[in-house]
A = this chain, B = another copy of it.
């Protein structure tokens, strides 16, 4: 039996995925988690063969959870399962030591197939997405440019951001300006959007 734990914040989706996996004769869902932090703890306690992690989770996202799991419980193979097939997400997932990367709009039967393959030592990645991630190149934004973009995303003004990050207003302007340049956008909103699409935030 392949022992799997499932981390996903939406309870109904989590339950549904569990019932999907329990249909498989060789797979058993032995634990569930609603946040990345819970997932790390559950994996440490139960030592499953595979941890299936959503990215978009509160407290600790799936990618950060993957990194911690690799450090603390290296015997457990991580598969990322996400809504958004963004190049930057895939890159980060690989850096965090994930063995598989699936998007939620691939067919349901792929899930069990992927789990079996990963357990067999294979890496499972959507080929189209892999190509996109490679051709897109790495994240061009610096640490601070990212910080400022994230802070700007909710409609904060320059003054707000400057206060929140303990920077001068001019500095914030400059970071925003360079982030706009690097993303090829015309203003901060487009810059945030494009960066999100690439998985750079």
Chain B hits for A9, CB < 8 A = 105
Q: With A10-B83, A13-B13 in contact, do A189 and B109 touch (Cβ < 8 Å)?
A: no
Contact A11 B106 (CB under 8 A): yes
| CA–CA, A105 and B109, complex, Å | 23
| CA–CA, A47 and B187, complex, Å | 49
Closest to A14 in B: B108
Q: Does A186 contact B (CB under 8 A)?
A: yes
Q: Does A111 contact B (CB under 8 A)?
A: yes
Among A16, A154, A185, A189, residue most surrounded by chain B Cβ atoms (within 10 Å): A16
Point out the residue from B19, B103, B109, B186 that lies within 8 Å of A155, measured CB to CB: B186
Closest to A110 in B: B12
Chain B hits for A102, CB < 8 A = 12
Q: Does A1 contact B (CB under 8 A)?
A: no
Q: Min CB distance, A33 to chain B, in Å?
A: 14
| CA–CA, A184 and B145, complex, Å | 28
